[in-house]
């Protein structure tokens, strides 16, 4: 502990500030011994205390270190912390957003983490497979996962000696052998999967070759095949072996991406998909927030939140229509995602109509109000593929009236847990 305290003191001495080493040691001891704080976190907390006390900007403090104190990726534990990393560029992702220079994955012997290098930082471009000393990177957090950002205060130094990656080196030969079922995919890894193309989505962005859903007997996952990969298109309903795909995670859900290192091999077999088409009948009891007239990121098509994309920041969004519905059968509830085409057909309103309504009222919420007024309380039969808690709706049919047979079936389901009541008593 005394050695750690002296190390902190030496770092402040480089800025001309002499801190009593006993004071530093006392604060470290209290955090580690009394409050059971991990040593690295206690060291960071004490350092930040004195930075604040002497009004020293964090970027100035870290950039003035001749010999940077290195942080292992597994030890990153604080949103907003500054760190110096020695890491290898595991993967570079496709990026077309004007404010971002590069995005991808960094790794060391303890783990892997996403990084973003901002264009205005004017840093040298990182090369996939090379190792670097990255000074003064900033730690961010999204959906409970840490990531690092390189900005104007950061610096990049290429290393001659490669950094080892925890869990094995990420070479194409090593990746190819990592066959995984879709249900076993984890963000931040490479994998090889076999599956059937369940659904292809309409795509208008030039950077994306194809996007849709692919499934095996364990589940279904979203895939993106980047145009720059120069891979052949896949066909809906056919089965493929996808080698060396990148697995990442967004919103707690994994998805796979195909790039230049990936390959596609068509299979003769017809792979059974675990989450086959599902049919559900019930009343639409709610249309949730995030429905109606929304805006999507022009790059990745994610819905914007307060004008910002989780991946690409503030962007000029593209309008879209959708419904996030909750249906109730009387014995269960089901969340459903209804796309633009079905929303237009169901509500009798086009996207242009919705945009005009929002402009007239100066409030996009009027579109959601109209959808609720027109659709909530009515009965529908929906079909689609089950993905997590949602059914991705392929078709939806309104039920204008309930016949006697259907009512009897619903009553049978309702009465199953309680056989003491008769139908006549319920009716």
Among 23-32, 219-228, 275-284, 303-312, where is mean pLDDT lowest? 303-312
DSSP structure string for 383-403: EEEEETTEEEEEEEEEE-S--
The phi, psi pair for 172, rounded to 5°, reads -55, -40
The CATH code of the domain at 67-170 is 2.40.50.140
**pLDDT score for 246:** 81
Sort 61 into a burial class: Cβ within 10 Å, 0-12 / 13-18 / 19+: buried
pLDDT, mean over the chain: 81
In tens, the pLDDT along 338-381 reads: 999 999 999 999 999 999 999 999 999 999 999 999 999 999 99
The secondary structure element, H or E, covering residue 279 is strand 277-287
pLDDT of residue 188: 67
Please measure the distance between the N-terminal and C-terminal CA atoms of the chain and give it in whole angstroms. Answer: 76
Q: How confident is the model at residue 19 (pLDDT cuts 50, 70, 90)?
A: very high
**Could you give the CA distance from residue 395 to residue 24 in angstroms, rounded to a whole number?**
66
Q: What is the pLDDT of residue 330?
A: 85
Q: Per-residue pLDDT for 412 more than 70?
A: no
- For the chain, the domains span 1-56, 67-170, 172-266, 277-409
pTM of structure: 0.45
pLDDT at position 399? 84
Q: Which residue has the higher pLDDT, 45 or 395?
A: 395
Instruction: Provide mean pLDDT across the span 272-291.
Output: 86
Per-residue pLDDT band at 171 (split at 50, 70, 90) = very low
Mean pLDDT across the stretch 20-34?
Answer: 88
pLDDT band at 423 (very low <50, low <70, confident <90, very high): very low
Lowest model confidence (mean pLDDT) among 284-288, 297-301, 395-399: 297-301
Higher pLDDT, 247 or 295: 295
Distances, alpha carbon 46 to alpha carbons 21, 26, 41, 85, in Å:
12, 10, 9, 20
DSSP state, residue 415? H
Angle at 62 between CA 56 and CA 63, to 5 degrees: 105
Residue 169 binned pLDDT confidence (cut-offs 50, 70, 90): very low
Q: How much is the pLDDT for 426?
A: 44
- pLDDT surpasses 80 at 425: no
What would the mean pLDDT of 237-266 be, rounded to a whole number?
A: 83
| CATH 2.40.50 at 277-409, yes or no | yes
pLDDT at position 270, please? 92
- Which value, to the nearest 10 degrees, does the dihedral of the CA atoms of residues 7, 8, 13, 17 take? -160
Continuous H helices in 317-394: 340-347, 351-361, 365-375
- The rounded distance, in Å, linking the Cα atoms of 336 and 327 is 8
How far is residue 172's CA from residue 190's CA, in Å, rounded to a whole number? 9
As a whole number, mean pLDDT of residues 397-417 equals 63
Distance CA 375, CA 292 (A): 12
Identify the sign of the CA torsion 280, 284, 290, 291.
positive
Burial class (CB in 10 A: 0-12, 13-18, 19+), 5: buried
Tens of pLDDT, residue by residue over 147-159, are: 899 988 888 999 9
Confidence of residue 174 (pLDDT cuts 50, 70, 90): very low
Same fold yes or no, 172-266 and 277-409: yes
Indicate the helix (H) or strand (E) that contains 130.
none
The string over 89-112, giving b where at least 16 C-beta atoms fall within 10 Å of a residue's C-beta and e elsewhere, is bbbbbbbebeebbbbbbbbbebbb
Residue 92 predicted with pLDDT over 50: yes
Statement: residue 67 has pLDDT above 80: no
Q: Please determine, looking at this structure, whether the domain spanning 172-266 carries the CATH number 3.90.110.10.
A: no
- At residue 341, the pLDDT reads 93
């Amino acid at each position: 502990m005394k050695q750690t305290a002296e190390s902190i003191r030496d770092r402040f001495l480089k800025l001309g500030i002499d801190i009593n080493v006993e004071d530093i040691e006392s604060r470290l001891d209290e955090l580690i011994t009394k409050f059971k704080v991990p040593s690295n976190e206690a060291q960071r907390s004490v350092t930040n205390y004195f930075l604040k006390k002497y009004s020293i900007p964090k970027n100035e403090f870290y950039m003035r270190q001749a010999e940077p104190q290195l942080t292992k990726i597994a030890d990153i534990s604080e949103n907003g912390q500054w760190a110096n990393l020695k890491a290898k560029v595991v993967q570079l992702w496709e990026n077309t957003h004007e404010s971002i220079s590069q995005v991808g994955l960094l790794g060391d012997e303890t783990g892997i983490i996403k990084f973003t290098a901002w264009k205005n930082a004017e840093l040298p471009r990182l090369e996939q497979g090379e190792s670097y000393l990255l000074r003064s990177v900033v730690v961010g957090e999204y959906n409970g996962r840490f990531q690092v950002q390189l900005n104007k205060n950061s610096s990049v130094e290429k290393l001659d000696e490669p950094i080892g990656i925890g869990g094995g080196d990420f070479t194409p030969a090593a990746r190819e052998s990592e066959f995984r079922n879709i249900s076993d995919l984890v963000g931040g890894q490479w994998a090889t999967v076999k599956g059937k193309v369940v659904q292809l989505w309409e795509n208008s962005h030039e950077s994306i070759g194809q996007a849709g859903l692919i499934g095996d007997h364990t589940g279904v996952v979203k895939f993106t095949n980047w145009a720059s990969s120069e891979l052949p298109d896949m066909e809906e309903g056919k089965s493929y072996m996808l080698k060396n795909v990148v697995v990442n995670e967004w919103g707690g859900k994994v998805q796979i991406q195909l790039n230049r290192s990936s390959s596609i091999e068509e299979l003769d077999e017809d792979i059974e998909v675990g989450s086959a088409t599902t049919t559900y009948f019930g009343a639409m009891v709610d249309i949730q927030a995030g429905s109606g007239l929304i805006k999507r990121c022009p790059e990745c098509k994610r819905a914007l939140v307060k004008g910002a994309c989780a991946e690409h920041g503030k962007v000029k969004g593209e309008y879209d229509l959708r419904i996030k519905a909750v249906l109730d059968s009387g014995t269960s509830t089901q969340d459903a995602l209804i796309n633009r085409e079905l929303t237009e057909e169901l509500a009798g309103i086009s996207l242009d109509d919705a945009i005009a309504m929002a402009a007239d009222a100066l409030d996009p919420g009027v579109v959601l109000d109209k959808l609720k007024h027109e659709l909530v309380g009515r009965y529908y039969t929906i079909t689609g593929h089950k993905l997590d808690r949602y059914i991705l709706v392929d078709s939806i049919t309104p039920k204008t009236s309930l016949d006697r047979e259907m009512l009897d079936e619903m009553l049978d389901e309702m009465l199953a847990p309680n056989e003491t009541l008769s139908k006549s008593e319920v009716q």
